[in-house]
Amino acid sequence: MNDGVRWHLDNPNIQVFMSFTVKITAPCLKKIRYSPYQQKLWEIIKEKHDSGMGYRRISYWLNEHGYKTPGGHEFKNTHVFSILKKKKIADGRMIKRFEPKIENLKFSIKKKLLIIDNEI
């Protein structure tokens, strides 16, 4: 790994070094893993909610049709709300963009010493 960039000048006795770190945050590289059952639940809940059903009515509908929470319990209105909220938060993280940060910027100039030994 190269920690910096090296330039060659007209003077071979001078070297210029620049080193830095670039930090890139990319949340879209982390895949959110939902089981097929969780995905199906979210799709059902989203469809019912978009059609105008409230959280309590959706929870009754899910219980009447034999669905359980991912933890194996009967649905309550808070479960329905939580599933919609958490998916919305996760989707928001996936589209969030961050600016790259340049850190640890160092610049140095080094002059080489030329030693001549005149012993004969």
pLDDT tens-digit profile, the chain (120 residues)? 445 555 545 666 666 677 777 777 666 666 667 788 998 999 999 999 999 999 999 999 999 999 999 899 999 999 999 999 988 888 877 777 767 777 777 767 666 665 556 665
**pLDDT for the residue numbered 90:** 81
Residue 119 lies in a domain: no
Domain span including residue 8:
4-111
**pLDDT for the residue numbered 89:** 85
Spell out where 1-120 has E strands: 4-8, 14-23, 101-111
Number of domains composing the chain: 1
Residue 91 lies in a domain: yes
**pLDDT for the residue numbered 1:** 44
Identity at 47, one-letter amino acid code: E
Token pair recorded at residue 68: 């359980």
Q: pTM here? A: 0.56
